[in-house]
Each structure stands twice: as structure tokens, then as C-alpha cells.
Structure 1
Amino acid sequence: MPSEKEFEKKVKKFLDSLGHEVWYFKHWAGAYSKSGIPDIIGCISGHFMGIELKKEGGTPSPLQIRNVELIKAAKGYGYILYPKDFEAFKEDVKAIVKESKENDK
């Protein structure tokens, strides 16, 4: 079972592969940062995204769940992402990029 850090590297590599269609940064939680912010914050083809990464068996906190729900309610893309769901996530993101490109025509 990969660690959360190893999984994070896979997710970032995928996002990097999309080039200018995706911008993101890794949020580093600390004593002075807001709690419950997703691990990766970014933009997919003009749409806000927040990705909370979890290793298999990991459990998001109620605040992490709430923040992902708030992102979705604001019409952004919010994910609590486990390794088992990575392929579906990639297809979802590719579909967002494709739809955006088609709408730009």
C-alpha cells in the first residue's frame, strides 16, 4: 500500500502532464494555517479544485469533508481522493479539460 506522500507524487505527476490546463500548489498545513484545507489547491481549465489525498484506510476529518462539500457547493471541483479512485479521478479531470476546450471553440 503506497504512502500518502507516494500517492501525492502520482497525483502531481498526472496534473503536471496536463500542462497549462492545470495549475496547482501543495497546501502545507501548519500551526498558523486554516484547518481542513485540501492538500492540493488549484485550477482545472478555469475551475477551482481542491483535492484531499488519503492513503487506503485513511479517514478524512469532518472539517476536511465539510470543506470539500463547500467547494462543490460553490461549483468547484472537490475530491477526497484515495489510490483506488485515482483512475476515475484522472478520467474526470480529462473530461473537464476536454469540455473546456470544446466550449472555447
Structure 2
Amino acid sequence: MTKLRKLIKDEGYFQSKIKKSLEEKYPDAFIRKISQGAYSEGGIPDILMIRDGHYFGFEVKRPVVGIRSKLQEQTVRMIQAAGGTAAFVCWPEEAIREVEEYEKSQG
């Protein structure tokens, strides 16, 4: 596992790829990368997207080696309970699939 951690690009790489893909697919959506730091609240998804009034939160994890924190899992459940869409994703296709599944559910 240690060797894999060194080989797999950092989370920022995957965040950038996902954000760029969402911006290309949904140019009318509001999409932002949420910066984490000393003054930010923990557990908030890395990428937020608002499309047609619906909130999407994407917590990005590195493939294979990414670890979900309990706080992140709790936050995802709270967003879902509040009516938003939140998911753990590694790849742009996963984030796009979440948006498409929500849109299908709306008829």
C-alpha cells in the first residue's frame, strides 16, 4: 500500500480533473473547489456544484488509497438528508453519473 500511495497522484490532481469535467459538461452550473485550511470547516466536500437550484457536493478521494474520515461520511449523510446530493468520487465520470442520476430521478 505504501508503494501505491507514492505512485498515485495526489488528491488535488483528481479534484482538478473532476472540476474541469463538470465545468465542460455543465457550463451553466455554479462550480467551485472548496479550499481547506486553518479557517475552514472540516468535512465539507471538496467540490460544490449548484445546477438548477440543486446542491451537489463531491468529496474527492484518491483511487485505491483514499480514506474517508468519519466526519466526511457524516457530512455526506447530512447533505443527503437535507435534500442535496453528496458523494465520494475518484473520477470525473463518477461525479457526472451522480448529476445524471439526480436529473433522471426528477423526471
1:78 aligns with 86
Match of 2:37 in 1: 30
Residue identity opposite 1:65 in structure 2: E
Letter in 2 for 1:80: F
Q: Any stretches of 5+ residues in structure 2 without a counterpart?
A: 1-7
- Compute the RMSD of aligned alpha carbons: 2.0
- Number of residue pairs the alignment of both structures matches: 98
2:72 counterpart residue number: 64
Identity %: 34
Q: CA deviation at 1:7?
A: 1.2
TM-score (norm 2): 0.77
Deviations 1:44-79 (A, max 9, x none): 221011111000111111001100110000110001
> Take 2:94 and 2:49, find their aligned partners in 1: how far apart are those partners?
19
Contact 1:45 1:96 in 2 (8 A): no
Structure 1 residue 42 displacement after superposition: 2.4
Distance 2:49 2:36 in 1: 16
TM-score when normalising by structure 1? 0.78
Alignment gaps of 5+ in structure 1: none
**Equivalence for 1:90:** 96
Does structure 2 conserve the Cα–Cα contact (< 8 Å) formed by 1:44 and 1:97?
no
Contact 1:44–1:96, Cα closer than 8 Å, also in 2: no
Show structure 1 runs of 4+ deviating over 3 A: 94-100
